[in-house]
Structure 1
Amino acid sequence: MALTSTRRRLWILALLIVVLVLLLLPDKAWSKPGEYFSASHLINKRLPKALASEDTGKKDECQKICSKHPQCDAFAVSEFEGKCNLYERVSGTKPVKYNTYTLYVLRRRQEDGYYVFGSDYYRLYLKRLNALDAAEYCKSDGGSLAAVKNETLNEKLRNRLLDRTMSRAYIGVSDMKQEEQWVYSDGTPMTYSNWDWNKKWEREDLDCALLTISGKWEHGDCWNKNFFFCLIPMF
């Protein structure tokens, strides 16, 4: 009985110590990792449906509240209205115009491979999959195979290949549905291309585009396993 009582007291003491340590931890220890940021296209914007609304118009206070909320990964704050709205982003939900509010978003971390391009992230995935499985993998991360629609994005993706010394990776361009009718992964017709004409063959077994370390594109067999790029909307 004495031993049991001693164990109980020790257990209570250990629990009290844990509670005391947690109470003394700085605010950052309770916060989700990552940086909240805004941009010009997020000024006078907020999201349609808030998790909660708090009575503060101060950005730092609003950010602290959001960082401690288990679902919050974005917030909009209005100093004029003295309001702070907390949000959980849902893929496909776009910001709406609302004067005096500025929307802040929890940025995915560059050290995890996510790079910002406009209102999207792009990422080179360091695993080899066929094009169909790569597309599904992108979808599971909230995006799609990267539809390269301009030279700027093409060069940014190429730089990731250079950083990793990788020879090629799938992008979101294919003519799988109709031969010689190349479209982006979002189904729109291809308006920008950067084919290496020495590696462009209109063959029925080469229906997917790969970006190479030179920055040029080549035709590839969609069933071959390659690295791949995803483009992931922030919203």
Structure 2
Amino acid sequence: MKHPLNPSDFYFCEVQQADAAQYTLTGPLVEESEVILEACRTDWRTWNKRAENLKTAALLRSENECTTPRAVVVKYSSGSNNIYLSTLGEFTNTEKGFKTLGAIIANAGIPCKALEQNPDEIFFFQDNKLLFPRQAAKRMVKADGRKSLTIYVYSPRPLDDLLIEPNMPKLTLRTGTPDTELVINGKPVEIAGKDYNRADFRELPLLQGWNCLEISMPESTPDDKLQGHFFCDNRADYLPQVRASYVNPEAK
């Protein structure tokens, strides 16, 4: 095996709320296929917070009660041709899942073009949030007692005039320190809410297309305080269309 995988590589219930797969596979085609990956027979999220003396028995019972098909990745072979089927729709919502799926594809021998982007630099959409990459702090630039990060955010529609239509998406950026400052397309944005461990910038005035966001905080701020994310409380359909990048795509 080119890329060894361990059981821990498939444990996601503490890093995302969404199911890695919403469906499983069954039927004649699956019966004639090689099952590469199966879903777990129990929902670990149900038992994670229970007492240890109850958890083991509860897990064993729920596994024994599971009667549904569990195949989520299968390989069907016909002559020299191979067809791979997968239902892992929410598997790559995190850096961990992204890397695990890449290893599965490589181990299966599936031809796959190498990614141009490092998974450590991807803004993942997870649990209705667009998350900053875990290594984002390493890209901050220090100057004049502050450190700053520049990112580019794509909006499919303008958000700079909330009176254009009712129920306009209201996008929020949250960071881990109240000392955060934000500039969007050269214009400062005021903090709308804060406490000792967060700052919220609400109703971000993004233009349609790519926007330049400059995020800064005191140079002494611990790196983990940059753990920011975007969310949109009033329009669930908007955030999945938002994209973010360290590099201005329009300058490529």
TM-score strictly above 0.5: no
Higher helix fraction (1 or 2): 1
Q: TM-score normalised to the size of structure 1? A: 0.33
Q: TM-score normalised to the size of structure 2? A: 0.31
